[in-house]
Structure 1
Amino acid sequence: MDFAFDARTEELRAKLLAFMDEYVYPAEAVAHEQRERLASPWETVPVVEELKAEARRQGLWNLFLPDSEYGAGLTNLQYAPLAEIMGRSPQLAPTVTNCAAPDTGNMEVLTQFGDEQQRKQWLEPLLAGEIRSAFAMTEPDVASSDATNITTHIERDGDEYVITGRKWYISGAMHPDCKIFIVMGKTDPDGEDIRRQQSMVLVPRDTPGVTIKRAMQVFGYEDHYHGGHAEVIFDRARVPASNLVGEEGGGFAIAQARLGPGRIHHCMRLIGMAERAIELMCRRAVSRTAFGKSLAQQGVVHNWIADARVTVEQLRLLVLKTAWLMDTVGNRGAHTEIQSIKIATPRAVVDILDRAIQLHGAGGVSQDFPLAELYAGARTLMIADGPDEVHQRSLARRELKRYV
């Protein structure tokens, strides 16, 4: 593995770093002020649309998608340092570059498994940033950490599928531009193979029988930039049979294919969040005085900053190794490393953010600094895309298998 960035990565890094300094960081406070004046909290603030246009003009658009026909054609190893930079402002940067979840995963699904009509109708406007989307898998009435538990029913009725079920924490569903759901449910609930019972269908948001019941908060935040999170009811919602994604029984495999890149993208951005926290810690430490000397002279602060730096350097190497393996041997060959970063990164970044909050005192939990919102996002990633304990179980079983 070569630790040096190639020429294209260096070029994009330089452009993205300049874009962040010139446009994104100054826009954070502007976006907050503009949101307070909106008629609906789910509307897009004007500065976001301005930044999207600028990002597209500079070629900082769809960087996540390795398929060169639709995206930037970058490898995971090339994209990793770019996602880290975007992670320094996770509410704005991924959104304005069209690299925000859940749209990224949905675009990957449509690229890999969608047919020509589905790509034309839904993928192309997503790639252009004209619409948003949602991925409906998690359910409130079952342990969704085991995806085979889902109870949403997708029943074939002639030339249509009928969808009935209740989903929640459906990211992006509150956004007024969210036009399409990718819904996972069971087409064969009594099938012998529990991983072939599920399928995925495309359900337009305006389909009769689809109801956005309520917005779901995350530690009190509504996550406006990503389109919020919603509880959604499907009450015998009907869609054409042609809205099936892939094949019947292929839903579980599609979900796994979708979550692999999503997990590493989250970990890349988490490292950027940790870097932002370290920067804020250092700035705070040299600017504040307590008990006769600056915080930067306090021994415990030295420990926090040093430990954070060591941790970030370790995590970055593991994430880059994982990206390299995904590029060279595929997601299956990198399974151990993908699970390792999914376990290690959120946990470590939560700890770094916790120290940064502590160093900022009351300011750390306020809206005047991004730390509280960063903490909420990082802590949530210990649950999202599979709880840590599920990955620990799988990883341990794989290790033990060599000795049994």
Structure 2
Amino acid sequence: MDFAFDARTEELRAKLLAFMAEHVHPAEAVAEEQRARLDSPWLTPPVVQELKAEARKQGLWNLFLPDAELGAGLTNLQYAPLAEITGHSPQLAPTALNCAAPDTGNMEVLAQFGTEQQRKQWLEPLLAGEIRSAFAMTEPEVASSDATNIETRIERDGDDYVITGRKWYISGAMNPDCRIFIVMGKTDPDGTDLRRQQSMVLVERETEGVEVRRAMRVYGYEDHYHGGHAEVVFHGVRVPAANLIGEEGGGFAIAQARLGPGRIHHCMRLIGMAERAIELMCRRAVSRTAFGKPLARQGQVHAWIADARVAVEQLRLLVLKTAWLMDTVGNQAAHTEIQAIKIATPRTVVDILDQAVQLHGAGGVSQDFPLAELWAAARTLRLADGPDEVHQRSLARRELKKYL
């Protein structure tokens, strides 16, 4: 395995690092100031639109999509170091590059499974960054870590489907630019194959019966830059049968196809978050004095920084190996590695961020540093796209199978 960056990756890395330094990091404080003056906290600060225009002009656009006709045509191994860089500013950078979840996963679904009409109507404006989208799967009444539990009903009625159900933590749904939902529910709730009961349909936000009820908080944060995480109720929502994605009963398989790349993208960005935490730790350590000497000369601080560096290097190698396997043998063959990074990366990065908060003292839990918000985001990723325990269960069963 050769993880040396190829010429194209090196070129894009250089451009992206410059874009982050010249545009993204200076825009972080500007975005906060602008948001405070907006009529709604869910409106996008003007500086974000400026970042998107600049990123597109520089060719830093849709880097996540391996389809060369629709996106940048990068492999997972090429995209990994770029996604890591965006993790240094996860609130702004992914959105600026049109590489933010849940839009990325939704675009992948539409590109892979959508009809020509669905791609024209929804994929094209998403690729252009003109609209946002949401993915409605998780439900409050059931353990959604087991997707077969989903209770939302999608019932055929003539030329329409009628959707009834309640979802929550639907990322992006509070953003006024969110125009389309991909909704997962059951078209065959009594089917004998639990993994063929589900289907996915497209539902326009403004369709009668769609109620975006409230914003869900994440450790107290409303995650405005992500478009919020909403509770959404579908009150007998009627959509054309042509809004079905793929085939009836194909929802579970589509969800798995969608989540594979999403999991590795999250892990790539998490490494960038950890790198920013290490940078902040080092800057804090050399600038603060306690008990007569700089924090940088305290033994415990040395241990935190050293352990963080070792952990990040280990995680990066595992993520790069996983990306390489996805490119060379496919997502299914890389299943063990995908689950391994999904278990290890959020858990480890949470620990690094926790130590960075500790080093910053009261400042670490304040809004004056990004650490508390980064911690909340990283901790949430121990649940999102499947909790640790689900991945541990699946990975362990695969290991044990060799001995049974």
Distance in structure 1 (CA, Å) of the matches to 2:378 and 2:62: 23
Give the number of aligned pairs: 404
For residue 386 of structure 2, give the secondary structure of its aligned residue in structure 1. Answer: coil
C-alpha displacement at 1:3, in angstroms? 1.9
Q: Which amino acid aligns with 1:152?
A: T
Pairs within 5 Å for 1:162-173: 162-173=162-173
Q: Which amino acid aligns with 1:142?
A: V
Aligned residue number for residue 181 of structure 1: 181
Q: What percentage of aligned pairs have identical amino acids?
A: 86
Aligned residue number for residue 36 of structure 2: 36
After superposition, the C-alpha distances for 1:162-191 in whole angstroms (9 at most, x for unaligned) are 000000000000000000000000000000
After superposition, the C-alpha distances for 1:225-244 in whole angstroms (9 at most, x for unaligned) are 11100000001000000000
For residue 134 of structure 1, give the secondary structure of its aligned residue in structure 2. Answer: strand
Aligned residue number for residue 133 of structure 1: 133
Distance in structure 2 (CA, Å) of the matches to 1:37 and 1:162: 40
Distance in structure 1 (CA, Å) of the matches to 2:121 and 2:396: 43
For residue 355 of structure 1, give the secondary structure of its aligned residue in structure 2. Answer: helix
Aligned residue number for residue 379 of structure 1: 379
Aligned residue number for residue 110 of structure 2: 110
C-alpha displacement at 1:25, in angstroms? 0.5
For residue 37 of structure 2, give the secondary structure of its aligned residue in structure 1. Answer: coil
After superposition, the C-alpha distances for 1:133-181 in whole angstroms (9 at most, x for unaligned) are 0000000000000000000000000000000000000000000000000
C-alpha displacement at 1:74, in angstroms? 0.2
For residue 331 of structure 1, give the secondary structure of its aligned residue in structure 2. Answer: coil
Q: Unmatched 5+ residue regions in structure 1?
A: none
Q: Which amino acid aligns with 1:133?
A: S
Distance in structure 2 (CA, Å) of the matches to 1:78 and 1:3: 10
Q: Which amino acid aligns with 1:368?
A: D
Aligned residue number for residue 16 of structure 1: 16
Distance in structure 1 (CA, Å) of the matches to 2:3 and 2:107: 29
After superposition, the C-alpha distances for 1:271-330 in whole angstroms (9 at most, x for unaligned) are 000000000000000000000000000000000000000000000000000000000000
Pairs within 5 Å for 1:60-71: 60-71=60-71
Distance in structure 2 (CA, Å) of the matches to 1:109 and 1:3: 28
Aligned residue number for residue 395 of structure 2: 395
Aligned residue number for residue 358 of structure 1: 358
For residue 330 of structure 1, give the secondary structure of its aligned residue in structure 2. Answer: coil
Distance in structure 2 (CA, Å) of the matches to 1:207 and 1:251: 21
After superposition, the C-alpha distances for 1:253-282 in whole angstroms (9 at most, x for unaligned) are 000000000000000000000000000000
Distance in structure 2 (CA, Å) of the matches to 1:151 and 1:350: 32
Distance in structure 1 (CA, Å) of the matches to 2:82 and 2:378: 18
Aligned residue number for residue 209 of structure 1: 209
Distance in structure 1 (CA, Å) of the matches to 2:190 and 2:3: 49
Distance in structure 1 (CA, Å) of the matches to 2:164 and 2:207: 12
2:367 matches 1:367: yes
C-alpha displacement at 1:208, in angstroms? 0.4
C-alpha displacement at 1:93, in angstroms? 0.2
Q: Which amino acid aligns with 1:14?
A: A
For residue 330 of structure 2, give the secondary structure of its aligned residue in structure 1. Answer: helix
Q: Which amino acid aligns with 1:320?
A: L
Aligned residue number for residue 58 of structure 1: 58
Distance in structure 2 (CA, Å) of the matches to 1:339 and 1:400: 15
2:290 matches 1:290: yes
For residue 378 of structure 1, give the secondary structure of its aligned residue in structure 2. Answer: helix
Q: Which amino acid aligns with 1:196?
A: R
TM-score by length of 2: 1.00
2:147 matches 1:143: no
For residue 332 of structure 2, give the secondary structure of its aligned residue in structure 1. Answer: helix
For residue 333 of structure 1, give the secondary structure of its aligned residue in structure 2. Answer: coil
For residue 36 of structure 1, give the secondary structure of its aligned residue in structure 2. Answer: helix
C-alpha displacement at 1:380, in angstroms? 0.1
Aligned residue number for residue 269 of structure 2: 269
Structure 1 outlier segments of 4+, above 2 Å: none
Q: Which amino acid aligns with 1:183?
A: V
Distance in structure 1 (CA, Å) of the matches to 2:129 and 2:83: 18
CA RMSD of aligned residues (A): 0.3
Pairs within 5 Å for 1:65-104: 65-104=65-104
Q: Which amino acid aligns with 2:317?
A: L
Aligned residue number for residue 194 of structure 2: 194
Q: Which amino acid aligns with 1:297?
A: R
